[in-house]
Chain A
Amino acid sequence: MTPSSSSRPAVVGNAVGAAGTMAGAAAESGVVLSVEPIDMVGLLAGAHHPRAGAVVLFSGEVRDNNRGRAVSYLEYEAYTPLAEKMIRDILEEAKTRWSLQIALAQHRTGLVAVGDTAVVVITASAHRSEAYAASRYIIDRIKHEAPIWKCEHYADGSREWGNNCNCHAVTGDVSKHIYETGR
């Protein structure tokens, strides 16, 4: 595993940050995976656009339990080159499909504590329906398709790689998925 050492998010669009910075331009060479904690407040502060009347932020966070077992922390691993490419492609597709002003995602790798953010998706559009729909689309596809895996470390000291996408059991094809929001 070669986790990324950068904490810059992938941004598709031209976000004008609260401090006047061009978050979109700054992220041109950024990556979507980060071993560092995600600066959710900073990302949101940079996710404003004069043509966007709606900004939606989704934060996927670490629970202290799963299927009745106490969870101490999660460990995320990724095949970084492909995961970053796929997430960028997903963001580009969403931006086109919903005419988004901003589409941004960042996912943690490494150890993530209970209560910390594992993944953030921010979408901005003229009206809320597009921003909500795009947010669901982006996080669904990241969870099902991007080569990122989580290992749950339990309070009893055991661990388990789990919660894998299991769509292939229904579709019969490891490349075909069933999404909550349909396609």
Chain B
Amino acid sequence: MKIHVYAGLKDYFEPEFEVEGEARNTDELKTLLLAINDKAEAMLSSCRFAVEEGFIDNAYKLNSHDTIVIIPPSSGG
């Protein structure tokens, strides 16, 4: 599963990487991500997740071929 992260999350992860292991939903994906870097826990708790041009929630069934975009709180303007 490919992961893209932005902004402050790049202080914890590479901008683009792949996660090993199975994640059926975003909660399980968070667990995999924290296994990579548990210092990202506070930031991950405030992030949204997206696939392509749409936000997803924990009810969305992740596919191993999905590219997951992890979106920190906005700070535009």
Contact = CB atoms under 8 A, between A and B. Distances in A.
A1 B6 contact: yes
Contact of B48 (A139, A150, A167, A174): A174
Which size bracket describes the interface of B in this complex?
A: 20 to 34
Interface of A: 1, 60, 76-79, 81-83, 85, 107, 118-119, 139, 142-151, 161-168, 174-175
A168 B46 contact: yes
Given A1-B6, A147-B71, A175 B55 contact: yes
User: Most A CB atoms within 10 A — which of B74, B75, B76?
Assistant: B76
A165 B50 contact: no
Contacts of B73: 164-168, 174
User: Most A CB atoms within 10 A — which of B6, B53, B55, B75?
Assistant: B75
Tell me the interface secondary structure of chain B in the complex.
loop
Given A149-B7, A161-B8, A82 B74 contact: no
A77 B75 CA distance: 10
A143 B8 contact: no
B11 A174 contact: no
Contacts of B75: 143, 148-150, 161-165
Given A1-B6, A82-B69, A164 B74 contact: yes
A149 B47 CA distance: 13
B52 interface: yes
